[in-house]
Structure 1
């Protein structure tokens, strides 16, 4: 399907009353994303470590890359909210969440603006030995199976 056909299809779909709210929300999110990336609402050093979430009932959700970024965003959220309101947005609250990068099995999570790399944890030899001894004392259970899988994957 060519880009012209896609645009025509989306315009037609956008006129359908069932999809009007969805298209309005997408348009609003695109405008908000553009505003956040081109302005100094969020400091540059934090902006590259967060992304826009949803806007629901006047509440803007920001997704932080990690807990440290989330804490900094929460600390300056009153300032962010004020700047957004000064730009004419009807946002009444900001919700900040830490992204959960473990939802994928790969070691890199891609987003249009950034890629998150997951660190593979290392277990010391003493830790492996302790976990092996623990599995010997456990009855057959999900815990025992999980520890055995952990040890197998770590090897």
Structure 2
């Protein structure tokens, strides 16, 4: 299927202005640009005012009628944010934000990839010491767990390390 000449690529790409320049010139985007700048500034202040575990999971919304919408990643964070609400509101007002109240809502964030499962590696000497310890204990849940652990590490070493 042939492409129409009207959809062909311009021959002189340098003559095109970046989209940012177009947005900066267009009055229609002034309100959008101002809103984006406000949210960015607000997010910067929130990162400074909130503890790290909250700052990374809280996103600011717009300020409407003196009410700032804050979106927490899950219910537990929203509950913690509600406990901090009076101090946070005062701190935001002190920084010049015209906010009279906070509206805290839950907006689940995309799941982050789980960290890789850690695989403990033991030296042959450590595996033998673990086995000897399990043999020296009376039968118990601890003794059984140590025996399973030493057996698992013995199998892993047999598979990976010996060339026989």
**TM-score relative to the length of structure 1:** 0.56
- List structure 1 runs of 4+ shifted beyond 4 angstroms: 1-4, 115-118
Question: 2:140 — aligned with what?
Answer: none
Question: 2:146 — aligned with what?
Answer: none
Structure 2 residue runs of 5 or longer lacking an equivalent are 1-12, 115-164
Question: 2:69 — aligned with what?
Answer: 61
Aligned to 1:19, the other structure's residue is in SS state: helix
| Per-residue deviation, 1:4 | 5.8
C-alpha RMSD of matched pairs (Å): 2.6
Question: 2:50 — aligned with what?
Answer: 42
Superposed, which structure 2 residues align to 1:103-118 within 5 Å?
109=110, 115-116=111-112
Superposed, which structure 2 residues align to 1:82-97 within 5 Å?
82-97=90-105
Q: Is the 8 A contact 2:23 2:29 kept in 1?
A: no
The whole-number CA distance in structure 1 between the counterparts of 2:64 and 2:44 is 18
Q: Match for 2:36 among 26, 31, 34?
A: 26
Structure 1 residue runs of 5 or longer lacking an equivalent are 102-108, 110-114, 119-155
Name the larger-Rg structure: 2
Question: 1:79 — aligned with what?
Answer: 87
Cα displacement string for residues 79-131 of structure 1 (whole angstroms, at most 9, x for unaligned residues):
10000011111111111101145xxxxxxx2xxxxx5469xxxxxxxxxxxxx
| Per-residue deviation, 1:20 | 3.1
Aligned to 1:54, the other structure's residue is in SS state: strand
